[in-house]
Chain A
């Protein structure tokens, strides 16, 4: 089946630094990648939709300059949290749907802790 590989699985960074999260589609071409954020005991909230070769579409309330998304190829999308602060600590998950499929596949998630 379709697999999305997400790295790193866990990262701890200092406040003010930037962190990059990568999602790779291993056996299909992901023209669109969805990025979610999940706070403890809360549901997944869509942050942005990235499209290969074009600008990402951000959900209302998500800061474009803080959460930089790059989707430079059909198999790689990255999310960079810039100038991270403790309130950015969360579980970040990517997801994609492969052509002709009903289902969505999810990355394994990245637990970001900003100290």
Chain B
């Protein structure tokens, strides 16, 4: 079983729709959860992080965490063509430990169509 799992996609949504990206993780000790966006040939950029059960909203983005189900999701409202990218889910075992590594999922490729 992979540590962090994501559907590779591509997930295709029309412009203006809601995109829903999902991620499951295997280590129950995981503490912090991250969503990164990565454009082709570029480094990942942080979209959101979450560490408490429930929802966390930031602009058009909402992260949802359910530790009991070991599940974290990202909703993108009013999807724009510029949102087309690969979205990486990542987890770490420590909230702020500088030596705590970040483990990535395989990423979901999102395509927002006109």
Contacts A100-B96, A103-B46 hold; do A43 and B105 have CB atoms under 8 A apart? yes
Q: Is the interface of A mostly helix, strand, loop or mixed?
A: loop
8 A Cβ contacts from A40-82 to B: 42-46, 49, 51
**Set of chain A residues within 8 Å of B71, measured between Cβ atoms:** none
Interface size on B, residues (CB 8 A): 24
Give the distance in Å from the alpha carbon of A68 to the alpha carbon of B10 in the complex.
36
Q: How far is the CB of B105 from chain A (nearest CB, A)?
A: 6
Encode A78-115 as 1/0 by CB contact (under 8 A) with B. Answer: 00000000000001010111111111101111010000
Give the distance in Å from the alpha carbon of A49 to the alpha carbon of B92 in the complex.
14
Are A102 and B101 in contact, CB atoms less than 8 angstroms apart?
no
Q: How far is the CB of A28 from chain B (nearest CB, A)?
A: 10
Contacts A102-B32, A109-B42 hold; do A43 and B96 have CB atoms under 8 A apart? no
B49 within 8 A of A: yes
**Set of chain A residues within 8 Å of B51, measured between Cβ atoms:** 102
Are B106 and A42 in contact, CB atoms less than 8 angstroms apart?
yes
Which of A32, A51, A93, A104: most chain B CB closer than 10 A?
A: A104
Are A106 and B98 in contact, CB atoms less than 8 angstroms apart?
no
**Set of chain B residues within 8 Å of A100, measured between Cβ atoms:** 96
Are A101 and B102 in contact, CB atoms less than 8 angstroms apart?
no
8 A Cβ contacts from B16-46 to A: 32, 34, 41-46
Instruction: Name 19 extra pairs, CB < 8 A, besides A43-B88, A101-B96.
Output: A32-B98, A34-B101, A43-B104, A43-B105, A43-B106, A93-B44, A97-B96, A99-B98, A100-B96, A102-B49, A102-B51, A104-B34, A104-B46, A104-B102, A107-B43, A108-B42, A108-B43, A109-B42, A109-B43
Interface residues of B (CB under 8 A from A): 32, 34, 41-46, 49, 51, 88, 95-107
Jot down 22 A-B pairs with beta carbons below 8 A, ordered by A.
Answer: A31-B99, A34-B101, A34-B102, A43-B88, A43-B105, A44-B88, A46-B101, A46-B103, A49-B99, A49-B101, A97-B97, A97-B98, A102-B32, A102-B49, A102-B51, A102-B95, A102-B96, A103-B46, A103-B49, A106-B43, A108-B42, A109-B43
